[in-house]
Amino acid sequence: MRYMGEAKYKRVIIKISGEALAGKNGHGFDHDYIDKVVNQLIEARKLGVQIGIVVGGGNFWRGRQGTEMERSQADHIGMLATVMNALALQDAIERKGVPTRVQTALTITRVAEPYILRRALAHLEKNRIVIFACGTGNPFFSTDTAAALRACEIKADVLLLAKNVDGIYDSDPKTNPNAKKYKEISYMDFIKSGLKAMDTTAVTMCMETNIPILAFGLDEKNAIVRAVKGENLGTWIR
């Protein structure tokens, strides 16, 4: 499928949750779903967009999994889960002929490049898709914060949050049928409201560098392509 039109943004960071890669399985990989996501990434790239991806690890590991495990140890396990997802995405993208690089915040040189900003920028300029794994490389920081950090570092035009809901609500729409969806909310109002859709550290970082955030549902038709074209969907934080 080809999508007509021009991209609004030159360079983006797309945060894709690990849960999204699991599709309806809830765990591991849903290869058919990943294939649909990859097709959209490739079409966005054809529009001339430089694409960086930050991937989560929730389809394999989330928090401390209800255990008494020490937090930093659990977070490092989560970082390794993001590497599995990054490699799976890389494989799916490259099987369609698109050059891709995985960079990790923890050094795992047998399977991926270490994160080096200048190298990442060079890859983007060569129109390679760059997948960033291991979060920030530090415990106690979410992959939302990692996405905001990479967006700041590569000077992305926008941070795209591809989520399993179609935007940001004032409460959980899965448990509250009367939850109100925001079309747009300011950085400060988001932080003051205590909304949980995104880590407040990430929102603060984007506020300080004036990078807008678009949260949208990955299940929406052609969502990634529509997002990079600046179409009306999801919720803006700006």
Tens digit of each residue's pLDDT (9 = 90 or more) over 191-228: 999 998 999 999 999 999 999 999 999 989 999 999 99
In a domain, 195, yes or no: yes
pLDDT score, position 159: 98
Which stretches does DSSP call E strand in 164-206?
Answer: 168-169, 181-182, 184-185
Angle 97-56-140 from CA coordinates, rounded to 5° = 145
Q: What is the Rg, in whole angstroms, of the alpha carbon atoms belonging to the chain?
A: 17
Beta-sheet pairing, 168-169 with 235-237: unpaired
Calpha distance 54→37 (Å, rounded)? 14
Residue 3 lies in a domain: no
CB-based burial label for 97 (10 Å; 0-12, 13-18, 19+): exposed
Which pair of tokens denotes residue 53?
């991806």
Q: Residue 2 pLDDT more than 50? A: no
Q: How many residues does the chain have?
A: 238
Tell me the HSE value of 130 on the side-chain side, using a 13 A CA sphere: 31
Averaged pLDDT of the chain: 94
In a domain, 2, yes or no: no
Q: Crossing angle of helices 117-125/143-154, nearest 10°?
A: 70
163 belongs to a structural domain: yes
| Residue 137, domain extent | 11-237
Instruction: Say whether pLDDT at 123 is over 90.
Output: yes
69 vs 136, more confident? 136
Residues contacting 102, CB < 8 A, separation 6+: 83, 86, 87, 90, 111, 112, 113, 130, 131, 133
Per-residue confidence (pLDDT) for residue 4, from 0 to 100: 54
Residue 152 lies in a domain: yes
* Domain of residue 154, CATH code: 3.40.1160.10
The structure tokens listed for 186 are 């300011």
Total domain count, the chain: 1
Is residue 1 scored above 50 in pLDDT? Answer: no
Asked whether the beta carbons of 146 and 136 are under 8 A apart, the reply is yes
- 137 within domain boundaries: yes
Neighbours of 140 (CB within 10 A): 10
* Residue 6 located in a structural domain: no
Using one digit for the tens of pLDDT, what is the confidence trace for 153-184? 999 999 999 988 899 999 999 899 999 999 99
Instruction: Specify the 3-state DSSP secondary structure of 117.
Output: helix
Neighbours of 213 (CB within 10 A): 29
In this predicted structure, the answer to whether residue 3 has a pLDDT above a threshold of 60 is no
> What tens digit of pLDDT does each residue of 76-116 get?
999 999 999 999 999 999 999 999 999 999 999 999 999 99
Strands (E), 88-232: 100-104, 113-114, 129-133, 158-163, 168-169, 181-182, 184-185, 213-217
Sequence-ordered list of residues with C-beta below 8 angstroms from that of 88, at least 6 positions apart, any chain: 21, 29, 34
As a whole number, mean pLDDT of residues 126-146 equals 97
% of the chain residues with pLDDT over 70: 97
Confidence of residue 66 (pLDDT cuts 50, 70, 90): low
Answer yes or no: is pLDDT of 75 > 90. yes
Residue-wise burial string across 9-18, b where 16 or more C-beta atoms lie within 10 A, e elsewhere: bebbbbbbbb
With respect to residue 117, please indicate whether it lies within any of the assigned structural domains.
yes
